[in-house]
């Protein structure tokens, strides 16, 4: 009887931990979205003082300036959302991410100019638009880098929000687990299974739970949110079906399909997703692929 009560208590504690872990991600995203809106408006408010001076001008109202920035802020944020800047696996320090932020700030600046024109027709200074754009780009890009690192630490905190099951004990799975740990990925490997079995008991500190016959048990016990297949292509249909039944995100390493050059990418062919490997070309051809 005591053992049953203890087991129930442990299960309850684990469920509560997972519950609060799952709440972390929506709270982080909500905080991120709101902070981006405030930073955009704040950048244009700062541009006001940079252009006018550290006074409140009677010729150009700060209140009307901030109202125009607040109207433009949703346009800026929607641009970031459509470029998937807030995606879980996005590298916030990457050059491409910086370009997306600059693009969103440019659209936000255009929306600010349009909003102010409809409200008052004449803009106080064209340089104010440039300064607002540059300040917004700098502030939001730096904030995204800092918040991106902070969110990874929060999401990885025990128990991690996104818990990955690695299928297949191969050189690629060893490399993947090492990379996820080294880069502090929000997706944390918590268990490994192999179709044929292995003598290894752990990989980079991640326990090997046995063969695929334990798949359902491991998913339930570990609260798996992502399954990453690193080998055993013949098991793909079974793994994908299990992921769909449990609401788990399924990921497949290209090496399972024999692609080991790391030059493949996902594209669409008339709306149909395909994996594409281009021949080696000049770097400027990247813009036209």
User: Are 96 and 229 in a shared domain?
Assistant: no
- 117 is a domain residue: yes
Answer with the one of 104, 123, 156 that is the final residue of a domain.
156
Confidence check: pLDDT of 8 > 50? no
Q: What pLDDT sits at residue 58?
A: 66
Residue 102 near residue 130 (C-beta atoms within 8 A): no
CA atoms within 13 A on the CB side of 150: 12
pLDDT level of residue 284 (50, 70, 90 thresholds)? low
Determine the Cα–Cα distance for residues 93 and 142; give it in Å rounded to an integer.
Answer: 9
Structure tokens belonging to residue 288: 């036209």
Of 129, 156, 183, at which residue does a domain stop? 156
Tell me the pLDDT tens digit for each residue of 43-81.
Answer: 999 998 887 777 776 667 788 889 999 999 999 999 999
Residue 285 lies inside a defined structural domain of this protein: no
Confidence band for 13, pLDDT divided at 50, 70 and 90: very low
Structural domains of the chain, count? 2
Q: 216 and 193, same structural domain?
A: yes
pLDDT at residue 253 in the model: 87
Q: Which two tokens stand for residue 264?
A: 């493949």
More confident residue, 55 or 177: 177
Is residue 287 one of the residues assigned to a domain? no
Residue 268 has pLDDT above 90, yes or no: no
Q: Examine the domain organization and report whether 141 and 7 are in the same domain.
A: yes
Residues 24 and 139 in one domain: yes
Same domain, 65 and 118: yes
Residue 193 domain flag: yes
**What residues make up the domain containing 201?**
162-277
Question: What are the tens digits of pLDDT across the range 178-217?
Answer: 999 998 999 999 999 988 878 888 888 899 998 888 999 9
Which of 94, 125, 156 is where one domain is finished? 156
Angle at the Cα of 92 from the Cα atoms of 88 and 94, rounded to 5 degrees: 125
| Assigned domain for 44 exists | yes
CA-closest candidate to residue 43, choices 147, 110, 138, 132: 132
Confidence at residue 117, expressed as pLDDT on a 0 to 100 scale: 83
Using pLDDT thresholds of 50, 70 and 90, give the confidence band for residue 101. very high
Q: What is the 3-state secondary structure (H, E, C) of the chain?
A: CHHHHHHHHHHHHHHHHHHHHHHHHHHHHHHHHHHHHHHHHHHHHHHHHHHHCCCCCCCCCHHHHHHHHHHHHHHHHHHHHHCCCCCCCCCCCCHHHHHHHHHHHHHHHHHHHHHHHHHHCCCCCHHHHHHHHHHHHHHHHHHHHHHHHHHHHHHHCCCCCEEEEEECCCHHHHHHHHHHHHCCCCEEEEEEECCCCCCCCEECCEEEEECHHHHHHHHHHHCCCEEEECCCHHHHHHHHHHHHHHCCEEEECHHHHCCCCCCEEEEEECCEEEEEECCCCCHHHHHHC
Residues 146 and 269 in one domain: no
Could you tell me the CATH number of the domain that includes residue 249?
3.40.50.720
286 assigned to some structural domain: no
CA distance 237 to 151: 33
- pLDDT tens digits along 103-115: 999 999 999 988 8
Q: How confident is the model at residue 263 (pLDDT cuts 50, 70, 90)?
A: low
Residue 254: closest CA among 196, 172, 177, 188: 172
Residue 43's pLDDT is 95
pLDDT tens across 119-147, in order? 776 666 778 889 999 999 999 999 999 99
Within-domain flag for 237: yes
Query: Are 184 and 106 within one domain?
Result: no
The predicted-structure confidence for 25-42, as pLDDT tens digits, reads as follows 889 999 999 999 999 999
Considering the domain architecture, whether residues 141 and 193 belong to the same structural domain is answered as no
Q: Are 18 and 139 in a shared domain?
A: yes
pLDDT at 15: 47
pLDDT average, residue stretch 136-163: 92
- At residue 53, the pLDDT reads 76
Q: Which residue has the higher pLDDT, 256 or 165?
A: 165
Mean of the per-residue pLDDT values for the chain?
83
* Same structural domain, 112 and 166: no
Tokens of 17: 């931990």
Same domain, 28 and 148: yes
186 contacts: CB under 8 Å, gap ≥ 6: 88, 89, 151, 152, 155, 156, 160, 161, 162
> Is the peptide bond preceding residue 159 cis, with omega within 30 degrees of 0?
yes
Q: Are residues 243 and 269 in the same domain?
A: yes
In a domain, 127, yes or no: yes
């Amino acid at each position: 009887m005591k053992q049953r009560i203890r087991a129930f208590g442990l299960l309850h504690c684990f469920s509560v931990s997972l519950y609060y872990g799952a709440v972390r991600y929506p709270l982080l995203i909500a905080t991120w979205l709101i902070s981006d809106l405030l930073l955009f408006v704040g950048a244009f408010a700062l541009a006001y003082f940079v252009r006018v001076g550290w006074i409140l001008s009677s010729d150009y109202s700060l209140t009307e300036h901030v109202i125009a920035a607040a109207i433009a802020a949703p346009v800026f944020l929607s641009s970031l959302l459509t470029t998937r800047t807030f995606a879980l696996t996005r590298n916030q320090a990457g050059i491409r991410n910086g370009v997306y932020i600059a693009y969103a700030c440019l659209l936000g600046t255009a929306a600010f100019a349009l909003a102010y024109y409809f409200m008052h027709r004449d803009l106080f200074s064209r340089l104010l638009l440039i300064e607002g754009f540059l300040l917004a780009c700098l502030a939001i890009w730096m904030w995204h880098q800092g918040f991106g690192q902070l969110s990874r630490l929060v999401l990885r905190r025990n128990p991690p929000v996104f818990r990955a099951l690695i299928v297949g004990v191969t050189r690629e799975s060893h490399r993947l687990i090492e990379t996820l740990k080294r880069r502090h990925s929000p997706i944390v490997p918590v268990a490994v299974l192999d179709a044929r079995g292995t003598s290894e008991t752990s990989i980079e500190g991640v326990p090997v739970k046995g063969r695929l016959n334990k798949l359902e048990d491991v998913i339930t016990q570990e609260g798996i949110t992502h399954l990453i297949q690193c080998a055993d292509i013949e098991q793909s249909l079974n793994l994908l079906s299990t992921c769909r039944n449990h609401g788990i995100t399924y990921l497949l390493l290209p090496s399972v399909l024999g692609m080991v050059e790391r030059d493949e990418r996902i594209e669409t062919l008339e709306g149909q997703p395909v994996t594409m490997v281009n021949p080696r070309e000049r770097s400027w051809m990247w813009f036209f692929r």
